[in-house]
Structure 1
Amino acid sequence: MKAMLGLVFLFAVAVVLMAMLKSAASNRSSSGDFRFGRRSPFLRQDEIHLYERLTAALRDTHVFPQVAMSAFVEHKGRSHAARNLFAQKYVDYLVCERQTMRPLYVIELDGASHSSARAQKRDKQKNDVLASAGIPIMRYKSKDVDLSTILSDYISVVPPQPAKGVGASVAEDERKLPVGRTPMA
């Protein structure tokens, strides 16, 4: 009987110790308890190359790299499953209207890693969420996208604004002519 009481006592002590360890682990929420490092570089070389092209071509906008979808997409209901479709996802580039910061469209750089079935499923989910939110998406397979392609894609997504004042320059008018490319939705 004494042996059984000893085992019960030992088991109780073990349970109490485990509870204390679990409590101590859950209280470790101070940033000082963890080690962090700088991710460098922030973008891969091909992403930097495309970013430079985008900012050169789209001077009248703001182009932001690596933006969390939760920063510019919201779910209109209460479903956590719906929010989970985009909460932890990022887009390669978000193009915004310069004055209002209104999201205009998303640009994705689809490299070789986008050919797997798993990547295609993720891309489809991203496409579906963005289409539902009314945000067009352009997908480029190369960092070497021609500047005229970037401009024509922009024009296909963002309708040209009427010229302010009289005598808009010819170059400005030519830039606003629609070209026959359509965004992926």
Structure 2
Amino acid sequence: MKLIAPDPEMRVAMPYDYTAKPLLTPTEAKFHACLLQITQERCHIQVKPRLADVFQHEKTNGAFQMISQKHVDFLICRPDDWMPMLGIELDDPSHDRAEAKKRDIFVNQLFASTGVPLLRLPVHELDRLEHLVAELTKAWNRRSKTLELSSLP
């Protein structure tokens, strides 16, 4: 085991400047805390997983390129086998841009084509806790049904 942690006074030269930043925005962090409370550790909550790490794809560059630099805000997985059960996208005003709308359509289609539900949650609805719980439960149940049907001979 080797810890890579230089002295705080030391700086390592790099060709570009990099600095650490929070993984989640304040809104995403607040929602993550809400998800933790709702799920009570009954599932795994992944934060910003890359779509290429979530979905199998054809072994062609085109298929990989379409998903390699995209992520979903949150991915809820079964606790025993880490199977993706549903994705969650927090939609803020940035999703109103033309390029974002195009990306959102692709992500919607990707999730639909794989049988994994995707919950698009406008940020102004984050405080509708009962509705959120109902939608998460519905999505989980639909995914469970899809997985049951796919395992039948």
How far off its partner does 1:134 sit?
Answer: 1.7
Q: Which residue of 1 aligns with 2:51?
A: 69
Q: 1:101 aligns with which of 60, 69, 82?
A: 82
Residue 110 of structure 1 deviates from its aligned partner by: 0.5
Gaps of 5+ in 2: 1-11, 143-153
Instruction: Give the TM-score of the pair, scaled to structure 1.
Output: 0.63
Residues 1-150 of structure 1 mapped to structure 2, 5 A cutoff: 33-34=14-15, 37-59=18-40, 60-75=42-57, 77-142=58-123, 144-150=126-132
Residue in structure 2 matched with residue 22 of structure 1 by the alignment: none
Q: Distance in 2 between matches of 1:104 and 1:38?
A: 33
The Cα offsets for residues 93-122 of structure 1, whole Å up to 9 and x where unpaired, read as: 011112221110100000001012211100
- CA 1:56–1:32 in structure 2 vs 1: closer, same or farther (change >3 Å)? same
Q: How far apart are residue 91 of structure 1 and its match?
A: 0.7
Deviation at 1:63, TM superposition (A): 1.1
Q: Is the 8 A contact 1:57 1:147 kept in 2?
A: no
Count residues with an aligned counterpart: 129
Point out the more displaced range, 106-115 or 130-139.
130-139
Identity of aligned residues (%): 25
Query: Which amino acid in structure 2 is aligned with residue 101 of structure 1?
Result: W
Amino acid at match of 1:51: H
- Report the alpha carbon displacement of residue 150 of structure 1 after superposing the two structures with TM: 2.4
User: Is the CA contact (8 Å cut-off) linking 1:66 and 1:92 kept in structure 2?
Assistant: yes
Highest Rg: 1 or 2?
1
| Secondary structure of the corresponding residue to residue 156 of structure 1 | helix
TM-score, reference length from structure 2: 0.75
The one-letter amino acid of 1:96's match is C
CA distance in 2, matches of 1:148, 1:92: 21
Gaps of 5+ in 1: 1-30, 161-185
Q: CA RMSD in A?
A: 2.1
Output the amino acid matched with 2:49: V
Q: CA deviation at 1:35?
A: 5.2
